[in-house]
Amino acid sequence: AQSVTQLGSHVSVSEGALVLLRCNYSSSVPPYLFWYVQYPNQGLQLLLKYTTGATLVKGINGFEAEFKKSETSFHLTKPSAHMSDAAEYFCAVSDRGANSKLTFGKGITLSVRP
């Protein structure tokens, strides 16, 4: 069975600082990997995904993530935080191939200090 670990529940950074949100997965074969963002009282918006090819994936709003098979990780980064980045971030995995369910981590709340 797949699982996703997001260490910590809350990260706080200063505006302009580096954002690093960690995600590790457990799966018998490398899965598809996703990062979603959720703003208060809203649904989830896809930030980026990795399915195949280049392991460094660029997403919306200046975010990127790197798939590292040897570390079973898919950490999310952004060079410079903006106040509007304050939200909850979820890492998720799914089986490769046909449409299948997403398995989510517990999420990390990102706060951005002025």
Partner 1 sequence: NAGVMQNPRHLVRRRGQEARLRCSPMKGHSHVYWYRQLPEEGLKFMVYLQKENIIDESGMPKERFSAEFPKEGPSILRIQQVVRGDSAAYFCASSPPRGMQTQYFGPGTRLLVL
Return residues touching partner 1 (CB under 8 A). Answer: 4, 32, 34, 36, 41-46, 49, 51, 90, 92, 94, 97-107
Nearest Cα neighbor of 24 from 51, 4, 9 is: 4
What count of residues does the chain have?
A: 114
Q: Which is nearer to partner 1, 49 or 75 (CB)?
A: 49
Q: Which is nearer to partner 1, 29 or 114 (CB)?
A: 29
User: Residue 83, by phi and psi: left (phi above 0), alpha (psi -120 to 50) or beta?
Assistant: alpha
Shortest distance, CB of residue 98 to partner 1, whole angstroms? 8
Shortest distance, CB of residue 114 to partner 1, whole angstroms? 27
Shortest distance, CB of residue 21 to partner 1, whole angstroms? 14
Give the Cβ contact number of residue 12 at 10 Å.
Answer: 12
Residue in this structure with the two tokens 């910590």, named with its chain if needed: 8
